[in-house]
Amino acid sequence: MAPITDVPTLTPPSRSVVRAYIAIGANLGDAPQQVVTAARDLQRLGAAWVCSSLYRTAPQGASGPDYVNAVVGLDTLLTAPDLLDELQRLELAAGRERPYPNAPRTLDLDIVLYGDARIDSARLQIPHPRMWSRAFVLVPLQEIAPNRVDACHLHALADQAIRRI
């Protein structure tokens, strides 16, 4: 029997790098340190990384201590669902509990944008459905990606107090 010589080599399809923007928030424990630690942890999930300044905001739709927020831009090869899995793993490692909606939290990580993707599934919605109504997302996002935030959106949120720390 002759050896088979003309067998094509199968290579897995390559993935393109995607710029994802992750909103980070915390209002329990050492919130500023939680946000900084989460930003550093996110850096390990991608090739390039940029982080906004930290901002302080009052909780929306809930009571509790003020939040510390930031947004990270991350170039990643992860799919959006795989990225969500990694974010939830980081939240759990930081002691995140979900006793009720809008509960205070040690860490909250949300994918707000994933390239130009539009995803609407039971588990994941991108762009994040409430990002356009939250100064704590748009102000830090505008800092690191001014082309992704329209001035009209920011103007509409002028009544939401947000302070760079």
**Which one of 82, 108, 116, 148 is the catalytic residue?**
108
CA distance 142 to 156: 14
Has 89 been annotated as catalytic?
no
- Give the residue ranges of DSSP H helices in 94-126: none
CA distance 138 to 53: 12
**Which one of 6, 30, 89, 96 is the catalytic residue?**
96
**Which one of 110, 120, 150, 159 is the catalytic residue?**
110
SS3 152: helix
Has 110 been annotated as catalytic?
yes
Has 148 been annotated as catalytic?
no
**Which one of 41, 56, 105, 134 is the catalytic residue?**
105
Has 150 been annotated as catalytic?
no
- In the numeric block, the tokens 């490692």 are attached to 93
Residues designated as active site: 96, 105, 108, 110
